[in-house]
């Protein structure tokens, strides 16, 4: 495992106590007919929700998590053979190229298995086929779930065609990525009552939709519309869905991307797996005309996913990346 250096070198927040959410995180059963309306409501109010009856086989989840735990348990010198991230590969503490740091190590992969370099996969042993198979099964299942959710969103918004969002993920040129994060126990936090070390700093996801699954270790928090932060209770059997910046633009800010972060845990290791569903690089992103009503105006300039991705890559995690693309001041 990584020998993590003294935590003073990492960003932290003082005297943090999470706000309790009166009714809890929105929980949506995808097997129920009313789910499309509940999804829209959750996206409008939180930009975040939890789903059950998601259709992802338990063995797909457990196999990939097992492979991830094996990888992060390897000596640092072995893991670094899969790095540095350019942007794909293994990263350790440094998040992106602009100075963001966190109590985290990670593996970032493309969802196109043919493009994942043997540089990453060969370090999993003599035969990387086990990992490749686990990745393929898991990503295929969560991609299907993400598309199903996006089609339920379209139905709930009463827009046609129902694949207006999902077709961007189904496109052969879809620029989707997959990330596995490992947050080691931060034992130096033991006895520290006045600070919480940041595992992954506050940010929104730039893509259309993110599908998150983690083990049973706490740490994830989301920001509410009033700026307060709430802790998300872990649930290893469910998935959490984030509205991304691109979906915020396409809905003309009716849905808002959720700001979230991860705090380090002093006792337990946290492993999370995230599918980021993105459009093709050449796809033009702009508010859908059918969602602009009456005297309402478009809040955003049209841009391509490539332009936004490039802008996001050149920014810090906490920056308001959509600010550069606003047509008028959003209120």
Give catalytic residue positions: 270
Please return the burial class of 155, using the count of CB atoms within 10 Å of its CB with bins 0-12, 13-18 and 19+.
middle
Strands 48-52 and 27-29 come out as: parallel
Number of neighbours of residue 181 by Cβ within 10 angstroms: 25
Neighbour tally for 87: CB within 10 Å: 12
Q: What are the structure tokens assigned to 176, written together?
A: 């989707």
CB of 277 closer than 8 Å to CB of 241: no
Peptide bond into 294 cis (omega under 30): no
Contacts of 330 (CB under 8 A, 6+ apart): 253, 299
DSSP codes of every residue in 242-299 = EE-HHHHHHTTTSS-PPPEEEE--SS--EEEEEEEE--BTT-EE---GGG--TT----
For residues 267-280, one letter each, b for 16 or more C-beta atoms within 10 angstroms of the residue's C-beta and e for the rest, the string is eeebbbbbbbbbbb
Closest CA to 30 of 125, 124, 114, 146: 146
DSSP-derived 3-state class of residue 40: helix
Q: Give the separation between CA 198 and CA 184, rounded to whole angstroms.
A: 12
Residues forming a β-bridge with 242: 48, 210
Half-sphere exposure of 113 (CA within 13 A, CB side): 13
Q: Is the peptide bond before 287 cis (omega within 30 degrees of 0)?
A: no
């Amino acid at each position: 495992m990584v020998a993590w250096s003294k935590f003073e070198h990492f960003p932290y927040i003082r005297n943090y106590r999470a706000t309790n959410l009166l009714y809890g995180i929105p929980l949506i059963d995808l097997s129920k007919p009313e789910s499309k309306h509940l999804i829209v409501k959750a996206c409008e109010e939180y930009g975040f929700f939890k789903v059950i009856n998601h259709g992802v086989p338990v063995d797909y989840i457990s196999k990939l998590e097992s492979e991830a735990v094996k990888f992060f348990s390897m000596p640092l010198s072995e893991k670094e053979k899969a790095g540095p991230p350019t942007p794909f590969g293994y990263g350790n503490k440094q998040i992106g190229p602009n100075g963001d740091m966190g109590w985290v190590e990670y593996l970032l992969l493309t969802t196109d298995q043919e493009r994942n370099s043997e540089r990453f996969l060969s370090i999993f042993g003599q035969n990387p086929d086990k990992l490749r198979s686990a990745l393929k099964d898991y990503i295929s299942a969560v991609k299907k779930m993400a598309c199903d959710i996006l089609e339920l969103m379209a139905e709930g918004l009463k827009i046609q065609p129902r694949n207006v969002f999902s077709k961007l993920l189904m496109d052969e040129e879809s620029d989707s990525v997959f990330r596995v994060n490992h947050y080691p126990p931060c034992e130096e936090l033991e006895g520290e009552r006045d600070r919480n070390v940041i595992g992954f700093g506050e940010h929104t996801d730039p893509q259309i939709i993110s599908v998150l699954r983690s083990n049973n270790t706490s740490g994830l928090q989301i920001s509410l519309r009033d700026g307060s932060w709430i802790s998300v209770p872990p649930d290893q059997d469910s998935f959490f869905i984030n509205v991304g910046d691109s979906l915020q633009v396409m809905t003309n800010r009716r849905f808002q991307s959720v700001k979230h972060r991860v705090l380090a845990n002093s006792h337990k290791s946290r492993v999370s797996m995230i599918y980021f569903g993105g459009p093709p690089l050449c796809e033009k992103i702009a508010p859908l005309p059918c969602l602009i009503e009456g005297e309402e105006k478009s809040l955003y300039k049209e841009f391509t996913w490539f332009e936004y991705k490039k802008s996001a890559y050149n920014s810090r995690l906490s920056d308001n990346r959509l600010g550069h693309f606003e047509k008028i001041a959003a209120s």
